[in-house]
Chain A
């Protein structure tokens, strides 16, 4: 008697459709450039754009993640004063990082996603300021930027938890 058992079929996790992701990104960008400014804490705002990027990146492969991050970063650079390509580079690489960090784990685990969000926010801020410094941004505010990045990572983590809880509720209603 054969003891062969077929592997249980596990459907690969498929990320949201591109237009859904694009709509979320557009909404995040619009809110980020108009409303979020008013809830700044010590001059730091939560990044809904990064939350959207991480939310997407942890559900898809690195190639799609980098494309999404690239789009988000380009839009942020377009809306910023004189950031050059700093957000484009930082956000694209952050998306790859988030996608890589989530590989092998459940994309729906809140503690894991909090860790990914915090790490990605810090790395993104580091990348941004490195690129900005290379582009001629005056030095001397490293400690302040570090404090801002830490606060931003906490705010983003809270934002991500809210998004995930809302997502779960919506799933349950469906």
Chain B
């Protein structure tokens, strides 16, 4: 038996093939080796973990702190970028109209009127009835001034009235605040208004002509009326005001 097995091995060696004995043995041991290697590997990892746990913990703490710092820095940079963008947005308007740049700092307590408080007052040259604009167009007009702050009545307030011109045909009207939007009243019935027409300010008490107020989104024509009314989407997002420019006439 031993001789036979030995002969099988010798034959396999000479022919360069794998003997059946080697095949069976390797197969059986293969599984065992796999299991043993996995166990040993796990044990080594565990040992390594146990040994390096304090180091890992402190490294984890360092990384967390660094992550927190980076998040804070990221937020700060985002804020700076937003502030820079807001400032550069209104810079051309300041230069164009020689206006006073201001920031929105407050709102009417009860929101009963559409108005904002800005951080510039008489000390900065702001006067009552000055026009207030943003990078994209009309914001409103100054209705109350104190030395260090002013109240601006937004174009959407129900009591706001601004002389308006439909840019395409020079048709005049009065832009009145309608709380959420602005409507232009008293446009002649024969004016062929179209949705998308741009409405700008006419020469008036607070504004020079040509400052965008908004774009026509709807037109109301009555059969028995002398005038038609246009509903505008304001050029400026009046719900997200940050920096504005006060312009004197």
Residues of A with Cβ closer than 8 Å to B? 29, 32-34, 36-37, 40, 43-45, 47, 49, 75-76, 79-83, 87, 128, 132, 137-138, 141, 144
Contact = CB atoms under 8 A, between A and B. Distances in A.
Contacts of B159: 82, 137-138
The 7 closest A-B pairs by CB, nearest first: A81-B115, A37-B107, A32-B109, A33-B106, A80-B108, A81-B113, A45-B111
A82 B109 contact: no
24 contacts: A32-B110, A34-B107, A36-B109, A37-B107, A43-B111, A43-B180, A44-B111, A47-B109, A49-B109, A49-B110, A79-B117, A80-B109, A80-B110, A81-B144, A81-B151, A81-B157, A82-B153, A82-B159, A83-B112, A87-B109, A132-B112, A137-B158, A138-B159, A144-B179
Interface in B77-122: 105-113, 115, 117
B143 interface: yes
B229 to A, nearest CB: 14
Contacts of A43: 111, 179-180
A57 B38 CA distance: 76
A75 B143 CA distance: 17
Nearest to B108: A80
Nearest to B140: A81
A87 B115 CA distance: 16
Contacts of B109: 29, 32-33, 36, 47, 49, 75-76, 79-80, 87
B57 to A, nearest CB: 36
A54 B106 CA distance: 24
Contacts, number: 66
Contacts of A36: 109
B144 A82 contact: yes
A137 to B, nearest CB: 7
A87 B110 contact: yes
A87 B143 CA distance: 18
A138 B174 CA distance: 16
B183 to A, nearest CB: 13
Contacts of A29: 109
A47 B107 contact: no
Nearest to B149: A79
B158 A138 contact: yes
Contacts of B108: 33, 79-81, 83
Contacts of B157: 81
A58 to B, nearest CB: 21
